[in-house]
Structure 1
Amino acid sequence: MKRVLRLFTIKTKLEVFMITYALGLGAVKRGQEYMIQYPGNIGKVFFLLCTGAVFIAAAKMLQAVEFDAAFGED
């Protein structure tokens, strides 16, 4: 069971960057769809909100990895 759980555990910064890249691709795609659905400034605002959420998530994941490295049980 521990081997399976390890697949869903983020342990290194490299893993965080790879996940962030995937989230960023999805956010840009969704932002493009918003710009088509909502032309004008509101579409651009939605695009920025989608991509901004990725930056916030990446920062929190990096903090968690650093915190776990400093104070983790392993």
Structure 2
Amino acid sequence: MLKKIGRLFVIKTKFEACLIIYALGVGAIARGMIYIDEYPGVGGKLLLLACSGSVFLAGAKIFDCLRYEKAEREAAAAQQPA
């Protein structure tokens, strides 16, 4: 039963990854806007840039992991006897 629940929290497709990256982006930009209000000027803009940049890094990592897991599954399927 725990495995079934655990599978709900695993990113399996690129569509799911895009939804998660979108949610991260919305949250990061909302946080960045708060930083701009709290720290007017260059400091707030740099923090906004850092928030949005972290989403790009996280998105790239998610897509890389999906590609790696797909290749691993295909390799395992190719090694299994028919």
Work out whether the TM-score is over 0.5: yes
- Write the distance in 2 (CA, Å) between the matches of 1:15 and 1:63: 14
Report the residue type matching 2:60 in the other structure: A
Secondary structure class of the residue paired with 2:12: coil
Q: Please report the TM-score for the alignment, with normalisation by the length of structure 2.
A: 0.86
Question: Which protein is bigger by CA-based radius of gyration?
Answer: 2
Quote the residue 1:21 is aligned against.
22
CA RMSD of aligned residues (A): 1.2
- Write the distance in 2 (CA, Å) between the matches of 1:59 and 1:13: 12
Q: Which runs of 4+ in 1 moved over 6 A?
A: none
Aligned residue runs from structure 1 range 1-74, under 5 A: 1-72=2-73
Count of paired positions: 74
Structure 2 alignment gaps of length 5 or more: 78-82
Q: Please report the TM-score for the alignment, with normalisation by the length of structure 1.
A: 0.95
Q: Alpha-carbon deviation of 1:17?
A: 0.3
Report the residue type matching 1:10 in the other structure: I
Report the residue type matching 1:49 in the other structure: A
Structure 1 alignment gaps of length 5 or more: none
Task: Specify which structure has the bigger relative contact order, considering alpha-carbon pairs within 8 angstroms and separated by 6 or more residues.
Answer: 1
